[in-house]
Amino acid sequence: MKRLFLASVASNVLTQFVELLDCPPSELTVAFIPTAADLYLDRSFMISYRNKLEELGFKVLDMNIAGQSKESLQEQLKDVDIIFVAGGNTFYLLEKVLASGFDEIVKDHIALGKWYVGSSAGSCLAGASIEPLKLFDNPAQAPNLSLLTD
């Protein structure tokens, strides 16, 4: 079963997410992926997502996918229960997702029944294409990205 929880500002609705879980947050590890915010000086929005996860009792594993290999990501994700992809620039995020092989890995984890939580850019990746986001994010911040779908 595919388990997706997609939000614009996840920190505002994570309490509703907790209600969907089969066990208390304290028994779950979240891979927190802040990569989309790498380009921003003010990362307070991303920090609020992470802080809310800890406040709710989740064990949080910080994991930036930029510059990571597929093998490294597979090893880091093998014992997590939830994959949380935070917001920022969607084009930059997709560029790093494709370069690292994270796209393939996350699909495998979702197919196994693990939760995927997306906030803002992290939610947009779950769609068919990020093309419409050219109105909101700067595609030039992902100079090596040629494919706008995953």
Domain boundaries, the chain: 3-11+30-141
| Phi, psi for 21 (deg, rounded to 5) | -80, 155
What is 3-11+30-141's CATH topology? Rossmann fold (3.40.50)
* Tens-binned pLDDT, residue by residue, of the chain (150 aa): 689 999 999 989 999 999 999 999 999 999 999 999 999 889 888 899 999 999 999 999 999 999 999 999 999 999 999 999 999 998 999 999 999 999 999 999 999 999 999 999 999 988 887 877 776 776 777 777 775 555
Other beta carbons within 10 Å of 100: 20
Q: Give the residue carrying structure tokens 């949080």.
A: 60
Q: How far apart are CA 87 and CA 116, in angstroms?
A: 14
| Phi, psi for 41 (deg, rounded to 5) | -75, -40
Whether the model clears a pTM of 0.85, i.e. scores above it, the answer is yes
| Phi, psi for 60 (deg, rounded to 5) | -115, 125
